[in-house]
Amino acid sequence: MSSNMRMGCDIGGTFTDFVVFDEDTGTLRVEKCLTTPRDPSDGVMEGVRLLDEDAPGFLTQTGQVFHGTTLVINAVLERRGAKTALLTTEGFRDVLAIGTERRYDLYDLQQQYPEPLVPRRLRLGVNERIRSDGKVIRELDQAQIKKLAAELKSEDVESVAICLLHSYTNPQHEQQLRVMFEEALPGVNISLSSEVLPEINEYTRTSTTVVNAYCKPLMTSYLTSLKERMNDNGLAGQLLVMLSSGGVTSIDTASRNPVRLIESGPVGGVILAQHVKALCGMKDAFAFDMGGTTAKICIMEGDTLPRTSVYEVARTQRFKVGSGLPIKVPCVDLLEIGTGGGSIAGINDLELLQVGPRSAGSEPGPACYGLGGENPTVTDADLVLGYLDPNFFLGGEMKLDVDAAQAAIEAKVGQPLGLDVARAAFGIHDSANESMAAATRMYAAERGVDPTELALVASGGAGPVHCYGLAAKLGVREIIIPVAVGVGSALGFLVAPISYDLVRTHKVPLPDADLSEVESLFRGLEADARGVMKEAGQTKEPEFVRSLDVRYVGQGYEINVVLPRGAVDSQGMSALAELFQATYEELFGRSFEGNAFEIVNLRIIASGPIPPSPIVPRAGTGSDYRKTARQAWCPIADGYVEHRVYDRYSVPTGLTLEGPAIFEERESTVVVGSGATAWVDEQGLLRIRLPEEGVTP
């Protein structure tokens, strides 16, 4: 083993995935084991143990471990966070309950919203006031603060979120409160809105800070424990954590700002797809990542990841904006769909087949896992249809029970619908594909994208099984599948740069902006970002992208515009005005010449270099790529037909193979439908071309 090794580790809802890449030899080692929900670090260490059996002492030679986790999002969804209190300006304690006063469905008289993470008795008002321009007009009441601290101490509060009315302009009172409460409540975690999100908009700032405080003790304990366990097993390098924005950071930064990890795991598949798209020289493509619990879709246009700063979790209505808890952190803009390999199939109140959003997870898992699951899932259907080999799941390490899968499908779906097991199984498989296709069509339409013009880059344990059916429904003509696709998110972590985003509100009409002041604020943000990146081991000067959130005066929402010049000067600001008008017109169909507009927020993205690619050419042997053949369901034939089975890694570069066919890896299986052609290109990527005349999935 060399000393130039990196490991990616992704904790999913069903499986925990691992990739170890040796930069010197180009060797990839992969592993996959069941996730351990009660303590996710147990699953991580089990994977490390399995990897160590193959390469003893590999952690001592590993320079970096990139870790993605669903711990934060699960803590919010399952309400497993810390007992949290909220301190806010007197008169504003109910902001979490009031929200924006916006109804997410005008005609639903019974609509519900998620309960605030902080109960009302722990939401306390502080007798202070700072104006929107930062001027202090009422100092903190020291006597009241002591009383509030005693009250929270009696409640055994574990974490405190402090979010004062205009602290994004002047954080003085929040900082003073932290000092007082750290002294009065030793060991209690403190989160300041002026550090978590120094940005205008009180409700989203408060909600984001509360989520950060709610998850902070849990995440700090988890990351500290994981680092200690890895160090005890020989890790001499760094443990880095995946951010929702598509970059990585240190565990210290992640512990201080766990809210930035809300989509830590799912972004890995998008990063991998963006990397694959660049390798293929494509401008635009879909990223499709389907794991055990959910599927993720992302439209990738151009050379940068699509990003958003507004996100919602814990929605009471999955597809209705405004029905969840708002979080404002940098995040890759993707669509998450409640369909995965573990999605449970059953008959709904209308006596129709429904697949998901409930998932069997890893405990008990699908019926075919033999771990006590009795409900049929998408994985059970894929097994019954012949797409999965019961003796080669995880390379044969985990045997699948075909009889249990058939029995579950027959009892819960086949008999109620009057279908035989095979057609019931295909109904589950096809319903999953249709759910994903319907959501993708809407997602693409909202962004003005024609799905038929894009290729689809698939990843995840279940993604390669379903990508052909999904592509056929969308009219997509080409599918691209990278190596080690079954652990795609973990592989994507290895091409994520050390990166960090920062924002600060600076609300001023554009003509009145003091350019020297704006430049000074940008330099301050960049200095803060350098410090964060240095913690993560970034020694080289990062690249900075500056942007401004701009809007017409009087509007409540702004659009982000990248500064056309690095430095802030009169030429750059003049160009910004023109760019804002052009961007606004592109988004909304028209602009308003002569209307005044204003700067709202300053943003920077700091990024280090992209690490060496783990996708290197891997030529097949050319002789032993044929495995066997087996019967699998063909929707065109409406029955089982013979599918040739190939060893994914042994297929020689350039060889064209015709469908129907199945390509097997240890961690995943690729299904190629009738009439399609498949080949491995010079990068080692599996390319699938669907028939021009289309297919009937």
Domain borders along the chain are: 5-76+220-261, 80-217, 499-607
196 pLDDT above the threshold of 80: yes
- Summarised one tens digit per residue, pLDDT across range 451-481 is 999 999 999 889 999 999 999 999 999 999 9
- Which segment of 135-149, 292-306, 364-378 scores lowest on mean pLDDT? 292-306
566 pLDDT above the threshold of 70: no
Place of tokens 């670090």: 41
- Summarised one tens digit per residue, pLDDT across range 20-53 is 999 888 888 999 888 888 888 898 999 999 999 9
Confidence of residue 101 (pLDDT cuts 50, 70, 90): confident
What does the pLDDT read at residue 160? Answer: 97
Confidence of residue 121 (pLDDT cuts 50, 70, 90): very high
- Summarised one tens digit per residue, pLDDT across range 652-664 is 888 899 989 999 9
Query: What letter represents residue 566's amino acid?
Result: G
- Which segment of 300-309, 420-429, 572-581 scores lowest on mean pLDDT? 572-581
What does the pLDDT read at residue 618? Answer: 65
What CATH fold (topology level) applies to the domain 499-607?
Dna Ligase; domain 1 (3.30.1490)
What does the pLDDT read at residue 358? Answer: 82
Mean pLDDT, the chain, whole residue set: 90
Q: Which residues lie across from 359 on neighbouring strands?
A: 343
What does the pLDDT read at residue 266? Answer: 81
Q: Which residues lie across from 249 on neighbouring strands?
A: 241
- Summarised one tens digit per residue, pLDDT across range 44-77 is 999 999 999 988 989 998 999 999 988 888 888 8
What does the pLDDT read at residue 1? Answer: 44
| CA gap 125, 119 in Å, rounded | 14
Query: What letter represents residue 319's amino acid?
Result: F
Confidence of residue 512 (pLDDT cuts 50, 70, 90): confident
Confidence of residue 338 (pLDDT cuts 50, 70, 90): confident
Average pLDDT over residues 401-425: 95
Place of tokens 């390490």: 397
| CA gap 629, 643 in Å, rounded | 6
Token pair in block for residue 559: 């659009």
Average pLDDT over residues 267-274: 92
Burial class from Cβ neighbours inside 10 Å (0-12, 13-18, 19+) for residue 110 reads: exposed
Average pLDDT over residues 312-316: 81
Confidence of residue 697 (pLDDT cuts 50, 70, 90): very low
Instruction: Report the run of H or E that residue 601 belongs to, with start and end.
Output: strand 597-607
CATH number for the region 5-76+220-261 comes to: 3.30.420.40
How far does Cα 259 stand from its chain's mean position? 12
